[in-house]
Chains A and B, each alone.
Chain A
Amino acid sequence: MNRRDFLKNAVRSGAALTLPLGIEPFLSIAGGADRPDLAVVRGASPARVTSAAVNELGGMRRFVSRGDIVVVKPNIGWDRTPEYAANTNPEVVAEIVRLCYGAGAKQVKVFDHPVSDARRTYKQSGIAVAAAAAGAQVSFIDERKFKDMAIKGQLLKTWPIYTEIIEADKVINIPIAKVHGIATLTLGMKNWMGIMGGSRGRIHQRIDESLVDLARFLKPSLVILDAVRILVDNGPQGGSLSDVRRLDTVIAGTDQVAVDAFGTTLFGMKPDTLGCVRIGHSTGLGNMNISRLRIKRLTI
């Protein structure tokens, strides 16, 4: 049973199973002998940095198998051009799409459920053109494809979720690192708001618990945190170049909590200041103790 069938069945029976708490870390250790937990790569070319980060984790073949349908989920939330660091870097997205095809993916889909008008965000972010040029099927959200799913989280029990992400064999999350009013920062887990339907603004009432529930439900194979440019003020949509810092960095990992935990350090924060990281750690979704993670740093 692959991921798609598994989740489909889970949805159909209304019982989305989750792995018992605490097992996932063992699984990831069993996966590779001395692979790092996180790869942090810095360099001038976003595309090369991205592929180097994936390589450090064992290459895309570790995450994508021949014939897979892969959903690559960037942040395309805002009507801003790339230099404003409000959306994921288009070159990073395109590179991930290329790597997926290189690993034998049958189809790579790219979409997001933006806050601003989707036509404008897809176009202005540069992602639609870049991802399509890399061969991805870039599509706008089709409202009919939101279906109530049994999230079975601690807080979110059911919510309309975009079915294409559920039906995919593999999911890769590519957020961008930004500050955010209510969530403090928006990193990987916060990016899952982009596959929610319904009146999703409501989850801001208890954002951290909601995000952890979503992250546990969606289980990406890989998380790529784009820190080529980060937004340090006026997040999450920015609007002024003075709020942008250029770090030329991409962080890759499989542990959603670990990636976000590392992400906080980009802003000079401690991992446990971010609610979803803290809760994700304490409920066993992942590990936020950066000192205990094997982190491979590289400059190219």
Chain B
Amino acid sequence: MKLKNLRQFSQALFFLLFLWLFLQTESKGANELGYPVKIFLDADPLIWLTTILASRSFYGVFALALTVIVATALLGRVFCGWICPLGTLHHLVGKLKKRTVPKKAAGLHRIKYLLLIFIIVLAILGVQLAGIFDPLSFLIRSLSLAVYPMFSYALRSLFDGVYSSNIPYITGSSEFVYGLLKKTVLPFSQPLFLQGIFVGLIFFLFLALNLREKRFWCKYLCPLGALLGSLSRYAFIKRSVSEDCDGCGACLRNCQGGACFAGGPGGAILDKVKEWENTECLMCLNCDDPCPKNAVSFGFSRKQEPAVLDLGKRRVLGSLLAGIAAAPLLRITPLAKVGAAEPTLIRPPGALAEGMFLKRCVKCGECMKVCVTGGLQPTFLEAGLEGIWSPVLVPRIGYCEYRCTLCGQVCPTGAIRKLNLEEKAATKIGLAMIDKGRCLPFAHNMSCIVCEEVCPTSPKAIWFEEVRLMDRHGKKTLLKQPHVDLSLCVGCGICETKCPVLGRPAITVSNLGESRSKDNQLLL
């Protein structure tokens, strides 16, 4: 078996494993998922490193991340070429491009290193932006918030169409297929996310760059690739080219990393085919087989020092300074002032205090993917630019299920703590308050109190007062008017979700009183 086939097998295996775990990131009714759905994020050295730097604390399991680091140091960027699911996806999309050497490759390999420096400088200064650019975070976020909802929407529309047109024989069998799909690949209910469209457009833009150059992202932009590239500088596996090489360039056609012509292609290709930058090599081994002279080989070698990519001192300095400037730029927002925080920023239960939460959250979207009600949504600027795409509960869309602790179970960095049910019941994420101008029993003398019915705490945080009121004809009526016991309310938001006053509900939750904050408190 050719090594290249082994690599393809590995890619397929890890890609399918990734997708399968992604599909398992969904409740089946129990309070555990049963599968280690976040292992890819656990294995991500960039997330691991930047989270430690930004939060100045160790967290969770790091065996997998260390394994990737050691493997990279020994074998080179095998993670990129053999494992990374986003890399595999780019690889597949790259197949759409004609198999030619680009006339002029962009040769932008240094960008990813400069981005990495920028991210690490920020992390050292306590700002965690790695999640925005990290490939696994980016992939899971894009799949969760955009691609999977699109997939679900498209399939559901198709089957709903056949269902509603009720074609003899065809509808029956399509419903059978639909039933199977619902049990396997379709989500329990259609996921709908704020900003799904933007997250999706960004994702497809980066996929489309493969048509400009194969694996554009991996070669030029990926900060994890840059980190692994730096780690692979002294790896033992090396590519050697024997004297038989006549510089035909056949090896360049399928090079996934652009490792062979990083110095600038064009007329120089022929001179550069023997050169090899191991930090840019994804170990795809594509250059081994097509060589007509059989001159290329990979192996443990100490000869043939690989070429070194020159970042340029000024660029490195620029990147450092940009990181140093970005940290305060991101923080000069009044949102951090006591009492000025965005009141709708209801964080999931178990979320750390906002400062530490932002240092840990990598915006991977796992918590939003797993949220049973779909209430966890990506923020836009509610938490500042620093917190973009971090999770916020939007009760009008979905509430926090009282006995569910899944978001804390899937969070890869501990930004949301894993709670047990007792802790969950004692965790306030906000407080509900009634708008008497809209509430039916208060404003319109009508019976309602759905909020009291659905309130999950015991005793209920929403209680009612029986009052005798007069209607316009002078007739006495007995009404139950709801009140919120602020000491019992946990802010789960089910009252807001289920309030029959649609659109602008008569009871709303804000993050005031959230357990995680010392300052954002109301009660004595």
Q: In the complex, are the beta carbons of B456 and A237 less than 8 A apart?
A: yes
Looking at B29, B188, B402, B446, the one whose CB has the most chain A CB atoms below 10 A away is B29
Give 26 A-B contacts (CB < 8 Å), ordered by A residue: A79-B401, A79-B402, A80-B403, A115-B453, A117-B404, A119-B27, A119-B188, A120-B27, A123-B28, A124-B29, A144-B163, A180-B453, A181-B449, A199-B500, A199-B502, A201-B448, A202-B500, A204-B453, A204-B500, A205-B448, A206-B447, A233-B459, A234-B460, A236-B453, A239-B458, A240-B458
Looking at A123, A201, A205, A234, the one whose CB has the most chain B CB atoms below 10 A away is A201
Interfacial chain B residues near A120, Cβ < 8 Å = 27, 29, 31, 372, 401, 403-404
Of B160, B447, B499, B502, which one neighbours A182 at CB under 8 angstroms? B447
Q: In the complex, are the beta carbons of B29 and A182 less than 8 A apart?
A: no
Q: In the complex, are the beta carbons of A117 and B372 less than 8 A apart?
A: yes
Q: In the complex, are the beta carbons of B480 and A205 less than 8 A apart?
A: no
9 smallest CB-CB distances across A and B, nearest first, come from A123-B29, A239-B458, A201-B500, A119-B29, A240-B458, A201-B450, A117-B372, A181-B452, A202-B500
Interface of chain A residues 190 through 213 with chain B (CB within 8 A): 199, 201-202, 204-207
B206 contacts chain A at the CB level, 8 A cutoff? no
Looking at A119, A123, A128, A234, the one whose CB has the most chain B CB atoms below 10 A away is A119
Interfacial chain B residues near A205, Cβ < 8 Å = 440, 446-448
Interfacial chain A residues near B453, Cβ < 8 Å = 115, 180-182, 204, 236
A175 contacts chain B at the CB level, 8 A cutoff? no
Q: How far is the CA of A96 from the CA of B461 in the complex (A)?
A: 36
Interfacial chain A residues near B396, Cβ < 8 Å = none
Interfacial chain A residues near B160, Cβ < 8 Å = 144
Interfacial chain B residues near A202, Cβ < 8 Å = 500
Q: How far is the CA of A174 from the CA of B444 in the complex (A)?
A: 35
Q: How far is the CA of A179 from the CA of B31 in the complex (A)?
A: 27
Interfacial chain B residues near A206, Cβ < 8 Å = 447
Chain B, Cβ-Cβ closest to A234: B458
In angstroms, how far is the closest chain A Cβ from the Cβ of B294? 57
Interface of chain A residues 128 through 154 with chain B (CB within 8 A): 128, 140, 144
Given contacts A115-B498, A201-B448, 20 further A-B contacts (CB under 8 A): A116-B402, A117-B27, A117-B373, A117-B404, A119-B188, A119-B372, A120-B29, A120-B404, A123-B30, A128-B29, A144-B160, A144-B163, A182-B449, A182-B453, A199-B502, A202-B500, A204-B448, A234-B458, A236-B453, A239-B456
In angstroms, how far is the closest chain B Cβ from the Cβ of A161? 17
Q: How far is the CA of A237 from the CA of B461 in the complex (A)?
A: 13
Known: A144-B164, A239-B458, A243-B458. A201 touches B30 (CB 8 A): no
Interfacial chain B residues near A115, Cβ < 8 Å = 453-454, 498
Interfacial chain A residues near B9, Cβ < 8 Å = none
In angstroms, how far is the closest chain B Cβ from the Cβ of A152? 23
Please report A residues at the B interface, Cβ cutoff 8 Å: 79-80, 115-117, 119-120, 122-124, 128, 140, 144, 180-182, 199, 201-202, 204-207, 233-234, 236-240, 243
B242 contacts chain A at the CB level, 8 A cutoff? no
Please report B residues at the A interface, Cβ cutoff 8 Å: 27-31, 160, 163-164, 188, 372-373, 401-404, 440, 446-450, 452-454, 456-460, 464, 480, 498-500, 502
Q: In the complex, are the beta carbons of A181 and B458 less than 8 A apart?
A: no
Chain A, Cβ-Cβ closest to B373: A117
Q: How far is the CA of A107 from the CA of B454 in the complex (A)?
A: 33
Known: A79-B402, A117-B401, A122-B29. A238 touches B448 (CB 8 A): no
Chain A, Cβ-Cβ closest to B190: A143
Of B30, B163, B404, B450, which one neighbours A204 at CB under 8 angstroms? B450
Q: How far is the CA of A167 from the CA of B459 in the complex (A)?
A: 40
Q: In the complex, are the beta carbons of B498 and A116 less than 8 A apart?
A: no
Interfacial chain A residues near B464, Cβ < 8 Å = 181
Chain B, Cβ-Cβ closest to A122: B29
Q: How far is the CA of A119 from the CA of B30 in the complex (A)?
A: 8
Interfacial chain B residues near A240, Cβ < 8 Å = 458-459
In angstroms, how far is the closest chain A Cβ from the Cβ of B164? 7
In angstroms, how far is the closest chain A Cβ from the Cβ of B176? 14
Q: How far is the CA of A207 from the CA of B448 in the complex (A)?
A: 9
Q: How far is the CA of A115 from the CA of B28 in the complex (A)?
A: 17
